[in-house]
Chain A
Amino acid sequence: MADTAPANATATPTDTPEQAKFRAHCQQWLATNHPGQPTVKLPQGALELSDPAALAWLQAWQKSAYDAGLIGCDYSKETGGGGLTNCQAIANHEMLRAKTPYLPNIIGLGMAAPTVYFHAQDEVKQALLPKLLSGEEIWCQGFSEPGAGSDLANQQTFAEKKGDSWVINGHKVWTSLAHFASWMILLCRTDKNDKYNGLSYFVVPIKAALGKGVTVRPLIKLTGETGFNEVIFEDLIIEDKYRLDEVGAGWKVAMTTLAHERGAGMLTTPSAGGLVTEEEKGTAVNSAAALIQLAKDSYRDGKTSADDPVIRDAIMQMIIRQEGFRQNQRRIGAKALNDHPMRLPLQFKLVATEIGQDIAQLAYEIEGIGSSLNVTDANAPGGGQWPLAYMNSFGITIAAGANEVQRNILGERVLNMPKSK
């Protein structure tokens, strides 16, 4: 909520001198270089991108923020980063405050970059990370397969060593942004006799291999949008230098990816505002505070939703949950108030996605029967964004390890309960 204590406020007293200087730079740059309202229609998030013009507009924004040093701040200079320490969170916070658009290379920044950074050869890092951070090259993630969803280690895509190269065959699915991606992070099998130690991890130049061993086919989501795909590998040959870490160490490398995907990694993921519409208008999906204005502007059973005590209570519940989540992120930094170092970080994905889903479902109720109108209907309240957000919310409660898997992880790794398998 804009009007309650932010986790990090403008002149944070605990900024190091380097951080304080960097924060001032971010504020100064954003004051004159905000890209303004988009000139093309943007979807609700980067994972829904399907229009090349929308992608190009967002790539230009990511490139300008990268050139100004707001993206990749904590990566080394040799890999195209800023060479700073703990400054990405500051850039993120300033971009959030400035309500900048979201960044299009979301999988590259959130998952591929830290994995490449921690596990690739220097030559590969230096070649790939600058264009990843700038957004010039989009990345996708080849983890899920038809038979490997929650049971991620059940990989069947196979990489066979032939001379100095690898030959890849298999079938990846639910692959967001593959239709735009130059590169894929790929988890696959190199040994059929060992479930976990038989996995290896590669970076794959998929765009360069389209039609030459790689086929990308769009999948249509339940919303009717595209954005994710299936990817078929047929005798794709790649160089050994694109292997990350040792043969057989794929599961370990995948843990680096997943830790960052779930918000529990070593490096802070660059993220910009994403508030394409404003909280005050009641249309900022993913914001509980926006529900207040929405309820004042909406009718439910013929009456103003904001006057219904049941709706008021439900809105307060959501605001409290979202503020609790934000304060959890702040508490991670207060070591004396954490008994177990992974207890809060491992909750991030689970809690964030369920709050987002429940906010959208409550907005759906607040809008009453008007919620029945699709984004394609001119009379849809708020352009139909809330019902769309609700439908899309299942993407992230399922992806990155379904939330049921997240609960197993928390129960087993934080609370030390016996494994459920």
Chain B
Amino acid sequence: MAQATNFGFGEDEAMLRDSAIKFFDDNCSPDKLHGLVAADSDVNRSNECHWQQSLWQQIGELGWTAACIPEAAGGMGMPLVAAVALAEEAGKAAFPSPLISTFNASFVLTAAATDNANKTLAEIATGRAASLAITNEKGSWEGSDTDVEFIDGKLSGTAYFVQDARKSEILVVAAKSAAGVGLYVVNADSTGITIEADSIIDLTRDQAHITFDKVSATEVAAAGDGDSAINQAMPSILCITAADMVGTGEWLLQTTVDYASTRIQFDRPLAFFQAVKHPLVNVMLAIDAAKSLTYNAACAISQEPENGEKLARMAKSAASDMAVFSSSRAIQFHGGIGFTWECFVHLFFKRQMHNQVLYGDAKYQRAKLADLLMGKAA
């Protein structure tokens, strides 16, 4: 089946994206962001979760969480490129919110495709924040690997590396029983749930390990069906993460270009010197390839899903390498200022560091891709 030449990014998607650009311009300038998440530079500062819940409520009213949820489940049924565009803009603002985690939870629920999953999707469509509790202590991205068990109708065990856990109201938990891995939905404030925040480098997000002690939960994918739902959603999750990196990378590029064009040394702006100019052009090339690969993968997931996984792994690989490159050059070319806490660049640098390893770094994606395209090595 042929893909649309415009990646399926039509007028509705462009309108939604433009509303996001305005929203972030109005509400999340870098200096406001720095004041919100980086007011305290003390290395022993308390591990608080800094975000603006009021903005999240507005996002719910704008319908962003409903955008890519199927109409049958109460959403707007837009193609994945719509969420990709929103994630790209959120990355450009390094926006602290559960937007990405909520998208990713909704992809897994959509893949599960049960009545109970649809009921949860309908809640997300109204603006309730969600997150996936599907990763084990060893940080495996395989759908079949979880340390949580489902025994006698109750969840027990610990889920690790849960994204934006303290901002989420709903948890989608992968848990294993004799019949295999199933998916279960719980409210994050349910009795028996302990959320222990990780102390993470990225100041624009939060992450936690969550312990379940005999917690009652609603089954959204039967035991044995959960890992396939996760694996089916993974290409979408990779696209969203890549889109966040593309947006963050673009902010780093433009900000560094501006700085290098105005900072004078040796009587010249830094960007006069090709030792600075050419690497910044290389950053642009890396961003553009990652962006095109991300929209391509997102379009394929909607229009030719059989190619979704390999194209999404290409996108995440390109975006992860670009994340390192765009952020390292931004710090380096900001010089001594770039190495300080007061310079905004570190917020975006750290967001890229987080994105780089989330759901598997570039080398991991390429190893998976090689198995898909070449067969396993002997």
Interface residues of A (CB under 8 A from B): 4-5, 7-14, 292, 295-296, 304, 306-309, 312-313, 315-317, 319-321, 323-325, 327-328, 330-331, 333-334, 336-337, 343-344, 347, 350-351, 404, 407-408, 410-411, 414-420
Contacts of A317 in B (CB 8 A): 317, 366
Cα(A417)–Cα(B300), bound, Å: 36
Would A420 and B366 be within 8 Å (CB), given that A5-B304, A407-B281 are in contact? no
User: Are B307 and A316 neighbours in the complex by a CB distance under 8 Å?
Assistant: no
Contacts of B377 in A (CB 8 A): 306-309, 312
User: Are A417 and B257 neighbours in the complex by a CB distance under 8 Å?
Assistant: yes
Does B3 sit at the interface, judged by CB under 8 A? yes
Would A4 and B6 be within 8 Å (CB), given that A321-B289, A330-B292, A420-B277 are in contact? no
A9-B2, A331-B295 are known; give 19 further A-B pairs, CB within 8 A: A7-B5, A12-B2, A307-B377, A312-B367, A313-B363, A313-B366, A316-B373, A317-B366, A319-B373, A320-B366, A324-B288, A324-B289, A336-B9, A404-B274, A411-B281, A417-B261, A418-B261, A418-B269, A420-B272
User: Are B274 and A420 neighbours in the complex by a CB distance under 8 Å?
Assistant: yes
Cα(A409)–Cα(B247), bound, Å: 24
Across the A-B interface, the 5 shortest Cβ-Cβ residue pairs:
A324-B289, A9-B2, A327-B292, A417-B271, A316-B366
Between A10, A11, A334, the greatest number of chain B beta carbons within 10 A of the residue's beta carbon is seen for A334
Would A417 and B260 be within 8 Å (CB), given that A312-B377, A323-B293 are in contact? yes
Distance from B271 Cβ to chain A, minimum over Cβ atoms (Å): 4
Contacts of B5 in A (CB 8 A): 7-8, 12-14, 330, 333-334
Can you spell out 23 A-B residue pairs with CB atoms less than 8 angstroms apart? A9-B3, A12-B5, A312-B374, A313-B363, A313-B370, A315-B374, A316-B366, A317-B317, A320-B366, A320-B369, A323-B293, A324-B288, A324-B318, A330-B7, A331-B7, A331-B295, A334-B9, A337-B291, A343-B288, A404-B274, A415-B281, A416-B261, A417-B271
Cα(A407)–Cα(B271), bound, Å: 12
Contacts of B17 in A (CB 8 A): 336
User: Are B310 and A408 neighbours in the complex by a CB distance under 8 Å?
Assistant: no
User: Are A347 and B288 neighbours in the complex by a CB distance under 8 Å?
Assistant: yes
User: Are A13 and B367 neighbours in the complex by a CB distance under 8 Å?
Assistant: no
Between A414, A417, A418, the greatest number of chain B beta carbons within 10 A of the residue's beta carbon is seen for A417
User: Are B290 and A324 neighbours in the complex by a CB distance under 8 Å?
Assistant: yes
User: Are B284 and A415 neighbours in the complex by a CB distance under 8 Å?
Assistant: yes
Total residue contacts A-B, CB cutoff 8 A: 163
Contacts of A411 in B (CB 8 A): 271, 277-278, 280-281
Contacts of B370 in A (CB 8 A): 312-313, 315-316
How many residues of B are in contact with the other chain, CB < 8 A? Answer: 53
Does B179 sit at the interface, judged by CB under 8 A? no
Within 8 A of A (CB), among B318-376: 318, 363, 366-367, 369-370, 373-374
Between B289, B304, B369, the greatest number of chain A beta carbons within 10 A of the residue's beta carbon is seen for B289
User: Are B366 and A4 neighbours in the complex by a CB distance under 8 Å?
Assistant: no
Contacts of A336 in B (CB 8 A): 6, 9, 13-14, 17
Cα(A256)–Cα(B26), bound, Å: 42
User: Are A331 and B292 neighbours in the complex by a CB distance under 8 Å?
Assistant: yes
Does B296 sit at the interface, judged by CB under 8 A? yes
Cα(A410)–Cα(B280), bound, Å: 10
Does B314 sit at the interface, judged by CB under 8 A? yes
Cα(A42)–Cα(B307), bound, Å: 36
As a 0/1 sequence over residues 304 to 315 of chain B, the CB contacts with chain A under 8 angstroms (1 = contact) are 100100110010
Cα(A330)–Cα(B3), bound, Å: 11
- Of the residues B257, B271, B280, B291, contact of A331 by C-beta under 8 Å: B291
Q: What secondary structure prevails in chain B residues at the interface with A?
A: helix
Contacts of B373 in A (CB 8 A): 292, 316, 319
User: Are A324 and B261 neighbours in the complex by a CB distance under 8 Å?
Assistant: no
User: Are B257 and A415 neighbours in the complex by a CB distance under 8 Å?
Assistant: yes
Does B378 sit at the interface, judged by CB under 8 A? yes
Does B268 sit at the interface, judged by CB under 8 A? yes
Between A10, A321, A330, the greatest number of chain B beta carbons within 10 A of the residue's beta carbon is seen for A330
Cα(A328)–Cα(B253), bound, Å: 18
Contacts of A330 in B (CB 8 A): 5, 7, 292, 296
Cα(A205)–Cα(B79), bound, Å: 56
Does B200 sit at the interface, judged by CB under 8 A? no
Does B222 sit at the interface, judged by CB under 8 A? no
As a 0/1 sequence over residues 250 to 285 of chain B, the CB contacts with chain A under 8 angstroms (1 = contact) are 000100010011000000110111100110111011
Contacts of B253 in A (CB 8 A): 415
Distance from B332 Cβ to chain A, minimum over Cβ atoms (Å): 16
Cα(A408)–Cα(B277), bound, Å: 7
Contacts of A343 in B (CB 8 A): 284, 288
Contacts of A308 in B (CB 8 A): 377
- Of the residues A327, A331, A414, A420, contact of B284 by C-beta under 8 Å: A414
Does B4 sit at the interface, judged by CB under 8 A? yes
User: Are A328 and B289 neighbours in the complex by a CB distance under 8 Å?
Assistant: yes
Cα(A327)–Cα(B295), bound, Å: 9
Cα(A334)–Cα(B6), bound, Å: 5
Cα(A243)–Cα(B7), bound, Å: 44
B294 (CB) vs chain A CBs: closest residue: A327
Contacts of A319 in B (CB 8 A): 314, 369, 373
User: Are B318 and A304 neighbours in the complex by a CB distance under 8 Å?
Assistant: no
Contacts of A315 in B (CB 8 A): 370, 374
User: Are A410 and B284 neighbours in the complex by a CB distance under 8 Å?
Assistant: yes
Distance from A92 Cβ to chain B, minimum over Cβ atoms (Å): 15
Contacts of B292 in A (CB 8 A): 324, 327-328, 330-331
Distance from B8 Cβ to chain A, minimum over Cβ atoms (Å): 9
Cα(A417)–Cα(B273), bound, Å: 10
A355 (CB) vs chain B CBs: closest residue: B289
Between B253, B260, B284, B370, the greatest number of chain A beta carbons within 10 A of the residue's beta carbon is seen for B370
User: Are A5 and B6 neighbours in the complex by a CB distance under 8 Å?
Assistant: no
Distance from B285 Cβ to chain A, minimum over Cβ atoms (Å): 6
Cα(A3)–Cα(B211), bound, Å: 44
Cα(A123)–Cα(B253), bound, Å: 49
Between A12, A325, A407, A408, the greatest number of chain B beta carbons within 10 A of the residue's beta carbon is seen for A407
Would A320 and B278 be within 8 Å (CB), given that A5-B300, A309-B367, A410-B284 are in contact? no
Contacts of A337 in B (CB 8 A): 6-7, 9, 291, 295
Contacts of B281 in A (CB 8 A): 407, 410-411, 415
Would A320 and B296 be within 8 Å (CB), given that A313-B367, A418-B271 are in contact? no
User: Are A333 and B374 neighbours in the complex by a CB distance under 8 Å?
Assistant: no
Cα(A324)–Cα(B6), bound, Å: 15
Cα(A306)–Cα(B3), bound, Å: 31
Contacts of B314 in A (CB 8 A): 319-320, 323-324
User: Are A14 and B4 neighbours in the complex by a CB distance under 8 Å?
Assistant: yes
As a 0/1 sequence over residues 1 to 41 of chain B, the CB contacts with chain A under 8 angstroms (1 = contact) are 01111110100011001000000000000000000000000
Cα(A70)–Cα(B192), bound, Å: 71
